[in-house]
Amino acid sequence: MYQIVKAEQLADKIYLCVVKAPRVARSCEPGEFVIVKLHGEGERIPLTICDFDREQGTVTIVFQTVGASTEQMASLKAGDSFRDFVGPLGNPSDFVKEDMESLKQKRYLFVAGGVGAAPVYPQVKWMKEHGIRADVIIGSKTRDLLILTDRMEEAAGSLYIATDDGSAGAKGMVTGVIEELVEKQGKKYDVCVAIGPMIMMKFVSLLTKRLGIPTIVSLNPIMVDGTGMCGACRVTVGGEVKFACVDGPEFDGHQVNFDEAMKRQQMYRAQEGRAMLRLKEGDTHHGGCGFCGGDR
């Protein structure tokens, strides 16, 4: 069992848990992820690592409720535990292994969409700890859905905010901010790291391709084991099939086949919808989901 030492709600449907997992905390790096499983009957859910404390032996995860399992996770409190918590999985971000001297010459732009701010944070924090101030753009639908802005402010060089409704920062999409910074203000970036919803990463990649900025994206496809066994997470990158769990999760955004990846994310949408219905209706559920047989 992996005990939760702290649990808080960051925004509507977005939650943070600090979990005691010494083996993961000891070896994880920015860019990697974990898989959690709430209870014996639960799913294995891949989640990016938001932060870690090697001394305390804790790992911080952030998740958004999207289905029945994450909905159950939302009610967790300090003192509760996950039955399983495994990691780190995937590969660290490339810069972790890069030569420091050449890395210090590079200007990084991080672009975080929605809950994507969580995996971006440890990367920006790592940069700061190594004396590099990177620029960060956080985008969300509205002000209330922005997360981790305080922590990011502290770690970033400049922090830019964009909301769809203009309730905080610039009104519009993160791509608008990138255009503003690069085309209007004439800022130069050597690398862009974009993490967020698949559709955001697709459009950021299209834009940065036009702007000539190499771009890394972090993919979060469906997966089961997370160690290369199942192949559920296969994505096409530069015409080659890759497994996001062992070859990624970070890939060259200009090479990723996002349309295929987005279709693959829909794989279990019908089943997930039914599971959500069962969870919401609880004892009052008597069929209609087409799955439980209660209406037969």
Is residue 71 near another protein by the rule CB under 8 A?
no
Q: Specify which residues 163 forms β-bridges with.
A: 140, 171
Question: Is the Cβ of residue 177 or residue 289 nearer to another protein in the bound state?
Answer: 289
Question: Is the Cβ of residue 21 or residue 191 nearer to another protein in the bound state?
Answer: 21
CA distance 120 to 111: 8
Contact 30/123 with Cβ under 8 angstroms? Answer: yes
CA distance 109 to 104: 13
Phi, psi at residue 183, to the nearest 5°?
Answer: -85, -40
Question: Is the Cβ of residue 88 or residue 169 nearer to another protein in the bound state?
Answer: 88
Is residue 280 near another protein by the rule CB under 8 A?
no
Binding-residue pattern over the window 215 to 244 for another protein, x denoting contact by CB under 8 A: ---------xx-xxxxxx-x-x----x---
CA distance 37 to 48: 14
Question: Is the Cβ of residue 168 or residue 292 nearer to another protein in the bound state?
Answer: 292
Q: Strands 108-113, 33-37: parallel, antiparallel or unpaired by DSSP?
A: unpaired
Binds another protein (CB under 8 A): choice among 143, 254, 264, 285: 264
Is residue 73 near another protein by the rule CB under 8 A?
no
Is residue 128 near another protein by the rule CB under 8 A?
no
Is residue 23 near another protein by the rule CB under 8 A?
yes
Binding piece for another protein, criterion CB under 8 A, among 9-17, 22-30, 100-108, 154-162? 22-30
Kindly give the residue spans of alpha helices, DSSP state H, lying in 55-197.
68-73, 100-104, 117-129, 149-155, 174-179
* Cα 236 off chain centre by: 19
CA distance 278 to 287: 9
CA distance 179 to 183: 5
Min. distance of Cβ 266 from another protein in angstroms? Answer: 7
Binds another protein (CB under 8 A): choice among 87, 116, 139, 249: 87
Question: Is the Cβ of residue 56 or residue 266 nearer to another protein in the bound state?
Answer: 266
CA distance 296 to 287: 8
Min. distance of Cβ 264 from another protein in angstroms? Answer: 6
Kindly list the residues in this chain that would bind another protein in the complex (CB under 8 A). Answer: 23-24, 26-27, 37, 41-44, 68-69, 83-89, 224-225, 227-232, 234, 236, 241, 246, 260, 263-264, 266-268, 271-272, 275, 291-292
